[in-house]
Structure 1
Amino acid sequence: MGATTRAGNLPLELTSFVGRRRELAEGKRLLSAGRMLTLVGVGGVGKTRLAGRIAAEMSREFEDGAWLIDLAPLGAGELLAETVAALVVGCPYPNMESLTAYLRDKQTLLLLDNCEHLLAQCAALAGDLLSTAPGLRILATSRQALNLPGEQVLEIAPFTVPEPAEASMEDVLHNEAVRLFEDRASSVVPEFKVNDANILAVARLCRRLDGIPLAIELAAARMLILSAEQILERLDDRFRLLTTGPTTAPSRQKTLRALLDWSYDLCSDQEQALWGRLSVFSGGSDLEAIEQVCSDGIARESVPDLVAQLVGKSIVLRRGQGSAIRFEMLDTLRQYGRERLVASGEDKALRLRHRDWCRDLAARAEAEWFGDRQMEWLGRLAREQGNVRAALEFCLNEPGEAWAALEIAAAMWSHRLSWSSPSEGHHWLERALAKEPGAGPVRAKALWVDAWLVLLRGEPEAAKPLLEECRTLAERLGDEAQLAGALHITGFSALLAGDFDRAFSLLEEALARRRVLGHRGHEWVVLFQLAMTAVLMDDPRSAKLCEEVLEKATRANAEWSVSYALWVTALERWRRGALRDAVTMMRDAVRLKLRCNDHLGLAQCIEGLAWVLADDGQYEQAAQMLGGAQVVWRSIGTSLSGLGHLAGAHDRCEATLRRHLKDDRFEAAFGRGSALTVDQAAAYALDERPARQPESDVLSVLTRREREIAEYVAKGLTNKEIADALVIAPRTAECHVENILRKLNFTSRSQIVKTWESRRSDQE
């Protein structure tokens, strides 16, 4: 079951954490006492590192994990909720609804890092989430406070620095700024220690750098080739030059700027060029991408060495391991690199090279997605989401480049899981279609892809004009591929509407056209939807179609496709009465869904198992399975009602169960299922737990805080008395009690009392 356990994503610390004991203790105290804490301070002061340490040390208090969301690569606030939901919820269609549904009964910490360019959007998101999820706490970093009601602000100042009058070596050695310099310097020169010979220079250097951690780390990286005295001398020269310029900037800002300028000047010409060029990447990149985008005028074979040199100088960070090694820069260093790139006159050329790299990436992903690299491509496109967004934003803001945005976004049709949600794909395509009125094949393709996305958003009326324009344009161009696309999505629309005869006819024609064109991936998707249509209309051709769907996906070794092929084939076995085969195949599909982290598919599989079990006379198990499916639907912020072609089977199943169990027994079994977690629902679907929990174990579905509150309820305390006892707001206590009632499928507090007393007597 580990495949769906999502216990956070806090990165491991790559260097030692130095100092900040007071701020660390205060941050933990404030976050324990309240629910929203923002660390505020200048760039380079160490807000991100401190926030990460606070989150790590408090992570055990959050049963459902602590999550770091870096907002620096996010250029616009429109996709904020989708970005957070994609990371935290991990479902195919994340949005604000799925995020709030997922967090509502969770004990979770969100770390929103680098909020300063999205202040209003971050404040709105935080406010909405905190008002609906009583177990949620938010830790943010920003150069400004979010000004949210209830927000606590902790200002992070630079390290204190040794005063010139401090004569005691012991005092200087215990100074946080000096300790940081020594720690980082010894990582490049292992034998380095602060001693009598260099202590004055190191102390003066830390004062000169105003105690700014990033500045100290950049200076310490120079110890590989310079002594502390030499660094100080060169830095003094830099500051003398700086004082001749404008005096309006804050002194700390001048300090950091001087360090960045100096670090830049210490780089070779090629290192300087690469530093600037790397700034076009958003969210980092791998070495292959750097070589492709940044090697103009730099020998490609020398790029790895140059990257290594920038890593050695603490300009570039190396992340990950194995085949997922990536290189990225802190936002302060990236913004400085962008300034240098613009000043060099190379900015547009590099943005175009970056755009072309994204075009190539999207094209290769489209060509190779239906094969043994399917999961690899889904993972890679998820990692490159920041770069794809940056390229699309550039294309949409640069005159004459909207055509490239259409091309990139439309090529992602097969990887809608790599978008945050169908809404994000639609966001880009709608903007690109409006900016690029040209009547070519790229527009025709973008139209049917956008129609698919709006259908997945539950907006069939919005899809109609897109499909009409696509069909008209494709016919005028004589473009068979896009005409097949229009037929396919029109058929898919009919399938969602439950018009199976029309859907079958359109999908059959689209399949024939795709086979002539030799588009394997397109062909399989149409074939899958045709097989599903045949199953739902009890067409005698359904068995052969399902066999072909499964055979093609298995031969291609495309895991995600195989999971759906197993699901639709299980439905076909169910419809013709082969119930044992149907259960086996549906459970095989569940296992693959867990591997793929596909909660939408998981919900459909658990639903399907309920239908099969109901027909097999296992009525209580089927009712509990329906409740478990509801848990998964709720976790992704949607329901089966959005998939009209499947809603009829659900309604018939529920009617059968109510007829055999009567309403009371159905509601009880359904309630037990709906009280499970997603992991527990999947385990139950796989028959990895007993169908009925002992009454005394029913409280296991509650979080630690909810069990604590349940005990207070059992003792007869009111919500206000519980709030006073736990030092929380009365509304928070009320939300917790409501969650307990919902999870246990109870309607009154007296049921909580009875269950708690039963549990206590069992334990005695």
Structure 2
Amino acid sequence: MVTLTGVGGVGKTRLATRMATVLRRAFPDGVWMVELAEVERPELLIASIMEALEIRDHSHRPPMDVLVERLRDEHALLVLDNCEHLQQECAVLAETLLRSASRLRILATSRHVLGIAGERTFPVPPLSLSSLDAHGTAGTRPMPEAVQLFADRARSVVPEFAVTDANRATVESVCRRLDGLPLAIELAAVRLRALSVEQLLERLGDRFRLLTGGSRAVLPRHQTLRALIDWSHLLCTEQERVLWARMSVFTGGCDLEAAEEVCSGDGIHRAEIVDLIAALMEKSILSREDHVGVVRYRLLESIRQYGRERLAESGQAPRIRRACRDYYRGMAAEARARLFGPDQIAWLGRLQLEHANLRTALESCLADPAEIQVGLGMAADLLYHWITSFYLAEGRRWMDRALALDSGESEIRARALWSNSWLAIIQGDLDDAAAMLKESRAIGERRGREEILGYVALYSGMIAMYRQDADTAIGLYEEAVERHTATGDPVGHALALIRLSLAHSFLGDSTRAVSLGERGIAVCEAHGEGWHRAYAMMALGVEVWRKGDAARAAAMERESLRFNRSLDDPLGIGVNLEVLAWVAATERQFTRAARLLGIAGAVWKAVGAVLSGYGHLVRYHDACEDDTRRALGSSALRSETERGAGMSAEDGLAYALEETPPADTGDRDLDVPSPLTPRETQIAQLVAQGASNRRIAADLVISQRTVEGHIEHIMNKLGFHSRVQIAGWLNDHERAAGAQAPRATRRHG
């Protein structure tokens, strides 16, 4: 383990990112960057790392056990950025992982040493202030690092700026006055919009004399940065200062709508927000991030902490925090209302972008005894966010915590209970799920609420089916269909029909299974709904296969799989792969069946359970495996299964869909190493061609959220803030390399 230490603004994160990029080829199992500045609660540390590693564990195991198992045999580099506020927790985590995973390496950034055995610390120095060669003119003598950065940032605001013999000494004095701190240099260079270099130097002297009362002592570096941020704050208008402070309440940035809703009022009109944001961007206070159809804005962590101090001093912190909490509470409620229909993928993507802010809003609710029920309702509203993303276990923890704090018998509690029961069922925690449903049913009966009783029946049916009690399950599913039909709830209605179709299929009632499956699809299509339709198609495909129509069953499963791939839903993908394997074995394509079982097995390993939430289907999995073993022999079955499990995620799904995967070009060395992964290079090439995120997703057959995440990583690695810069860099790199980067080889999980 190596820990990069130093004051804020010295460049620890940039150095760690650069090191991770340079060392990428040395770690065949991956280099993973985990940003911890947004993690405000220690118990969310492991969840954030699991998200970065793309671990979607749906089991009920302790998260640390899941993480250790994933990394135990990995030759990988884990980068933990901004550990200082979680120093003790990061130390314990690092020690545990390093003891368990012999080939794992950890690179951390922190203002403080973590203090674990074997830790090596590297104090990150500021940029150099003098060159080794003190001779020559400005045109020939190499510039110190600090001067190079100043010149680069100065040209971004004054394109004609150049370091010359006439101004070099002054520029070097500016950089020396700033102690070579990169962030301080960037903030100071912005001032050249209005000042000459000489005026800048003079005013820096004034700021520092004010800070130290005229002392000639050298300023500590943390005071240097503070002085620059103070000066940047002073040069803002009053409204800009107010907006800076108010935007510090966001965790992980925000979009314009959020800024307008949360930050307006008391001196700032909603219509003024966009111009004030533009002004703060010009002053390098806010940075811009491009996402699918929306721009987001973020404060660097040092600047955000400064803004929080100012917000606290203003006395407005409680009001702004409430406004922020209420905004994201409203977003969760609207998402619940919009997630069954054509806007589903867009809303799920939006929730994932806002995950850090949703966390903060939930924490705010649960920390206030008067807002516990608000937080409970919000956690329940996010049910599909928890299920379809990396956060199922985290969602369970939020609802468990909120339910423990709430002692009432409200309808909100009843809804949270049945929502949480579904998460528990997926995790295989049936006893807890049953207990929650019993309490929810009691509340529903006392209040006479059909909606509550409908969902209790639905999830109780899932438990019965999980335990292979199909007769009981069918009775409960039929009750759910009746109640949800009466209340006009298409979500519960569709879910109940899908599960009822599977139950009748399990008992061999083909006519009922097909009829119910088709009804489920019809309900979804009437509302333009995609995710539930994909599951209905999967369920119907199981019965069509059982009836002997393998070709039609395979077509239905492939259609379902394409949608689940676009949503990046591992549960749906896993079941689709299973059914396709069963179909292949039925058609005596045993090699294909074995390989598909391996591909599915890799998905289930990542999820944490085979056929998670569909345990009654395991008998078909076992039968397929037995038939394939008899046909191929144990050795060949094992070999082909391992081959499937070793495929990249993209190649595995392409194989299942009978698409032609891209030719394997290997991981050849380039003349000029690229800091991007092969997949990032592929996406950068499409960006350079002017493709939208939607088109990239369609071309590569991945979700828009996945594309968005790749583009965000590309910009972070290259230090860019626009797609145009990506295109320019790619052209330069490909000219230098004379070749394109290889394709992605990311493994399952």
Query: What TM-score do the two structures reach when normalised by structure 1?
Result: 0.80
Distance change in 2, residues 1:226/1:364 (3 Å): same
Q: Which residue of 2 aligns with 1:480?
A: 450
Pairing partner for 1:624 from 584, 590, 595: 595
Q: How far 1:643 sits from its partner (Å)? A: 4.0
Deviations 1:237-268 (A, max 9, x none): 32223224999998111111111111111111
In structure 2, distance between residues paired with 1:437 and 1:249:
59
Pairing partner for 1:152 from 120, 132, 157: 120
Deviations 1:378-426 (A, max 9, x none): 1111111000001111112234122221121110123223553322111
Pairing partner for 1:218 from 187, 191, 200: 187
Pairing partner for 2:489 from 519, 523, 546: 519
Pairing partner for 2:52 from 79, 84, 87: 87
Distance change in 2, residues 1:183/1:482 (3 Å): same
Are positions 1:597 and 2:568 aligned together?
yes
Are positions 1:143 and 2:108 aligned together?
no
Instruction: Please state whether the residue corresponding to 1:320 is helix, strand or coil.
Output: strand
- Give the 5 Å matches for 1:448-597: 448-539=418-509, 540-597=511-568
In structure 2, distance between residues paired with 1:555 and 1:625:
33
In structure 2, distance between residues paired with 1:497 and 1:704:
51
For the 8 Å contact 1:102–1:636, the answer to whether it is kept is no
In structure 2, distance between residues paired with 1:626 and 1:588:
19
Distance change in 2, residues 1:132/1:603 (3 Å): farther
Q: How far 1:433 sits from its partner (Å)? A: 1.7
In structure 2, distance between residues paired with 1:288 and 1:423:
30
In structure 2, distance between residues paired with 1:276 and 1:499:
58
Deviations 1:499-558 (A, max 9, x none): 222122112212222222222233322322222222222233110111122233344443
Q: Which residue of 2 aligns with 1:397?
A: 367
Pairing partner for 2:12 from 47, 55, 63: 47
Are positions 1:309 and 2:272 aligned together?
no
Q: For residue 255 of structure 1, what is the amino acid of its counterpart?
A: T
Deviations 1:407-458 (A, max 9, x none): 2111012322355332211111122122232332212211111222222222
Instruction: Please state whether the residue corresponding to 1:541 is helix, strand or coil.
Output: helix
Q: For residue 222 of structure 2, what is the amino acid of its counterpart?
A: Q
- Give the 5 Å matches for 1:301-340: 301-321=271-291, 323-340=293-310
In structure 2, distance between residues paired with 1:351 and 1:62:
42
Deviations 1:3-35 (A, max 9, x none): xxxxxxxxxxxxxxxxxxxxxxxxxxxxxxxxx
Give the gaps of 5 or more residues in structure 2.
670-749
The total of aligned residue pairs comes to 661
Give the gaps of 5 or more residues in structure 1.
1-35, 691-696, 706-764
- Give the 5 Å matches for 1:115-514: 115-130=83-98, 136-162=104-130, 170=138, 174-244=143-213, 251-297=220-266, 298-321=268-291, 323-417=293-387, 420-514=390-484
Q: Which residue of 2 aligns with 1:110?
A: 78
Q: Which residue of 1 aligns with 2:625?
A: 654
Distance change in 2, residues 1:81/1:106 (3 Å): same
For the 8 Å contact 2:130–2:143, the answer to whether it is kept is no
Q: How far 1:190 sits from its partner (Å)? A: 1.1
For the 8 Å contact 2:387–2:423, the answer to whether it is kept is no
In structure 2, distance between residues paired with 1:485 and 1:248:
70
Q: How far 1:64 sits from its partner (Å)? A: 5.3
Q: For residue 532 of structure 1, what is the amino acid of its counterpart?
A: L
In structure 2, distance between residues paired with 1:201 and 1:702:
51
For the 8 Å contact 2:385–2:391, the answer to whether it is kept is no
Q: How far 1:133 sits from its partner (Å)? A: 5.4
Pairing partner for 1:59 from 5, 24, 32: 24
Q: Which residue of 1 aligns with 2:653?
A: 682
Instruction: Please state whether the residue corresponding to 1:545 is helix, strand or coil.
Output: helix
In structure 2, distance between residues paired with 1:59 and 1:159:
25
In structure 1, distance between residues paired with 2:666 and 2:32:
21
For the 8 Å contact 1:381–1:418, the answer to whether it is kept is no
For the 8 Å contact 2:56–2:389, the answer to whether it is kept is no
Distance change in 2, residues 1:551/1:72 (3 Å): same
Query: What TM-score do the two structures reach when normalised by structure 2?
Result: 0.82
Deviations 1:35-91 (A, max 9, x none): x33221111101111222222233344455543321111112322222222233264
For the 8 Å contact 1:514–1:523, the answer to whether it is kept is yes
In structure 2, distance between residues paired with 1:37 and 1:350:
39
Distance change in 2, residues 1:522/1:221 (3 Å): farther
Instruction: Please state whether the residue corresponding to 2:23 is helix, strand or coil.
Output: helix
Distance change in 2, residues 1:555/1:145 (3 Å): farther
Deviations 1:552-601 (A, max 9, x none): 33444433333322211210101211111112222222333322222222
Q: For residue 282 of structure 1, what is the amino acid of its counterpart?
A: T
Distance change in 2, residues 1:182/1:499 (3 Å): same
Q: For residue 32 of structure 2, what is the amino acid of its counterpart?
A: W
Deviations 1:320-359 (A, max 9, x none): 2551321111111111111111111111111111111111
Deviations 1:644-668 (A, max 9, x none): 2222222233333344555455445
Distance change in 2, residues 1:546/1:70 (3 Å): same
In structure 2, distance between residues paired with 1:56 and 1:438:
52
In percent, how many aligned pairs have the same letter?
43
For the 8 Å contact 1:159–1:177, the answer to whether it is kept is yes
In structure 1, distance between residues paired with 2:218 and 2:64:
39
In structure 2, distance between residues paired with 1:275 and 1:495:
54
Distance change in 2, residues 1:395/1:632 (3 Å): same
Instruction: Please state whether the residue corresponding to 1:328 is helix, strand or coil.
Output: strand
Could you tell which deviates more after superposition, 463-472 or 105-114?
Answer: 105-114
Distance change in 2, residues 1:100/1:530 (3 Å): farther
Distance change in 2, residues 1:497/1:215 (3 Å): same
RMSD: 3.1
Deviations 1:165-197 (A, max 9, x none): 989764986122222122111211112223344
In structure 2, distance between residues paired with 1:442 and 1:532:
30
In structure 2, distance between residues paired with 1:274 and 1:418:
34
For the 8 Å contact 2:352–2:385, the answer to whether it is kept is no
Q: For residue 529 of structure 1, what is the amino acid of its counterpart?
A: R
For the 8 Å contact 2:55–2:606, the answer to whether it is kept is no
Q: How far 1:466 sits from its partner (Å)? A: 1.6
For the 8 Å contact 2:490–2:523, the answer to whether it is kept is no
Q: For residue 11 of structure 2, what is the amino acid of its counterpart?
A: G
In structure 1, distance between residues paired with 2:666 and 2:125:
40
